[in-house]
Structure 1
Amino acid sequence: MTNRTLYLIACAAPPARRIDTGVRAAQSAGWDVCLILTPSARRWATEDAHGELDRLAGLTGHPVRHQHRLPSQEDVLPAPDAMLVAPLTSNTLNKWAAGISDTLALGLLVEGIGLGLPIVALPHWNEALGRHPAVPRSVETLRAAGVTVLLDDGLVPQQPRPGGSDAYPWQAAVNALPSLPTPKP
């Protein structure tokens, strides 16, 4: 078992319905995966399947987090060595670039930049959302802060009202992560 930890942060976009594919891809690459969902992604993950969060916790070996803990509660997740945001929505992109941390997922991402953690983001939004002037500015802001935003090399926004999410390139996102860091003592 590895002790190099990846926070996989998922936003509410169709590929979040197949988050287990991303978890398995990261685990196959040697990461201990902790899953964090935005509040809307949590609703998407549990919409059709009762007990889905328990199944995902079983897959990762960690509780699935989606909200802040209380100050009196112990943190149940190990500290991350890297973060992967997939799927990343335009909503989360723009809030993150503005430094807004009004959810657990955003708080971790904003803090991750400040901690200098390696962060990879694989967007999933449609072309219409991508044409909003805030989107390219936010991508540039995050890239300038050291975040790897995968929008090049064929990873492009979807057409409005896309069909399925089977083609979401989870493996490309995992491949963009840095080499596994040296294990913690």
Structure 2
Amino acid sequence: MPQIPNEHPTLWIRSTRSESLKGKTIVLAVTGSIAAVRTVELAREFIRRGADVYAVMSEASGWIINPMALHYATGNEVITAITGKVEHVEFFGNLGRADLLLVAPATANTIGKIAAGIDDTPVTTFATTAIGAGKPVMIVPAMHEDMYDHPAVMENIEKMKGWGINFIGPKIEEGIAKIAGNDEIVLGVERAIGKRTLCGKKVLITSGSTAESIDPIRILTNRASGKTGNELALEAYRRGADVTIVHRNKLGVSGINEIYIETAAQMTDAVLDELAKGYDVLISSAAIADYTIDASRQKIKSGEGLELSFKSTRKLIKEARKAYPQVKIVGFKAEAGVNTEELLKRAKQTLESSGLDMIVANEVSKGGIGADTNNVTIIYSGGKDNLNTEGSKSLIANVLMDEITGLLTSKDEE
């Protein structure tokens, strides 16, 4: 990115990963947990997504990490005391310029003080001001498990949740309530103060491959990795949606509902059951098996002649469209060994025959399956011009979610 004169060199990484937090100002409040050492990289992850980051530290946190480290990490002077500049008001007064106060890590001591309205450190003064002004606050606990399990600590956490304060983690391991991973914290922040274009929407996604049993050991499957589906689920979650993903992999993100399936029939049944609960859009990105067999109940001995008799699987999209005509449906069309003209022709035929609102086409012999990047064409019902996009699957998910947001907005206006 172009360098700005007199800009701190650490800011040269701004928006190198995404622009999900572009224009947002985050105050990272650090307290006296050993997990404070994680905050250098955490701050830089926010900057990589476009945010401006400022750090405020308690005296105890300075015993663990030098303020110079956070000056380097954020590119801004670190606040270690409240001065005549009234920094807490500058950032979190009614006219304050910050979008979020993130207390990470938060000790039991700091949690108790915030819950009681005590502000005897720069961090707790910032918290009292932000809460009083109704500004977003997120807290990431880190302490020994016995401290976390203390009734007063649990009561304080529940009390603050009642005020609308979000908590991320902790992760209980080795007798310690460890700070949540940076990826989980960043995702939580993106959801809290990011685009929010899908807030209040319910999104159902199918992802990856299915597997059909030959016998108790062997399966028939395909090369689909589920990376695109995972990125779509993450992007929908960032934008505030209520997200469910149906797959045979594991995403492991708190807040995203996962339904695990194995076969094409199980995936179809799971999707139809979920749609009955009321969803705004189904994104069918899974590579669902077209054929299945009657599996042997016992392992077929090695070396024996093997003949398999295939039968067609049910068509998830057609069943979903018939049962739930009001739901917006986005399909995917993967082909191999065809030219662009033929790919788009086949994708449009599927779009029309299956009653889809949008279809994403790609030619997988040139990459895509299992890779971290892809080249896709989005085709719309209703005659809108096709849109081609290529790059990382996270970038493609971002573009697709922009288009899906448009679909749902047009639905609301009907």
Q: TM-score, normalised by structure 1?
A: 0.79
Q: What does residue 86 of structure 1 align with?
A: 104
Q: What does residue 66 of structure 1 align with?
A: 80
Q: What does residue 169 of structure 1 align with?
A: 181
Q: What does residue 148 of structure 2 align with?
A: 130
Matched, 1:40 2:60: yes
Structure 2 CA distance for aligned equivalents of residues 60 and 150 of structure 1: 21
Structure 2 CA distance for aligned equivalents of residues 179 and 82 of structure 1: 7
* Counterpart mapping for 1:1-185 below 5 A: 2-46=22-66, 53-69=67-83, 71=84, 73=85, 75=87, 79-151=97-169, 155-160=170-175, 168-177=180-189, 178-180=192-194
Q: CA deviation at 1:173?
A: 1.3
Q: CA deviation at 1:169?
A: 0.7
Structure 1 CA distance for aligned equivalents of residues 86 and 153 of structure 2: 36
**Residue identity matched to 1:28:** R
Structure 1 CA distance for aligned equivalents of residues 86 and 168 of structure 2: 34
Structure 1 CA distance for aligned equivalents of residues 56 and 87 of structure 2: 13
CA RMSD of aligned residues (A): 2.5
Q: What does residue 50 of structure 1 align with?
A: none
Q: CA deviation at 1:106?
A: 0.2
- Higher CA-based Rg: 2
8 Å Cα contact 2:112-2:153 kept in structure 1: yes
Structure 1 CA distance for aligned equivalents of residues 146 and 87 of structure 2: 39
8 Å Cα contact 1:122-1:149 kept in structure 2: yes
8 Å Cα contact 2:23-2:50 kept in structure 1: no
8 Å Cα contact 1:16-1:45 kept in structure 2: yes
**Residue identity matched to 2:131:** I
Write out per-residue CA displacement over residues 73-112 of structure 1, whole angstroms, 9 at most, x where no aligned residue: 4749753111111111111001100110111110111111
Higher relative contact order (CA 8 A, sep 6+): 1
Cα distance change, pair 159–7 in 1 and its aligned pair in 2 (3 A): same
8 Å Cα contact 2:40-2:69 kept in structure 1: no
**Residue identity matched to 2:133:** L
More strand by share: 2
Q: CA deviation at 1:42?
A: 1.4
Q: CA deviation at 1:150?
A: 2.0
Structure 1 unaligned residues grouped into runs of 5+: 47-52
Q: CA deviation at 1:55?
A: 4.1
Structure 1 CA distance for aligned equivalents of residues 53 and 41 of structure 2: 12
Cα distance change, pair 129–61 in 1 and its aligned pair in 2 (3 A): same
**Residue identity matched to 1:174:** V
Percent of residue pairs bearing the same amino acid type: 24
Structure 1 CA distance for aligned equivalents of residues 133 and 149 of structure 2: 31
Structure 2 CA distance for aligned equivalents of residues 146 and 29 of structure 1: 25
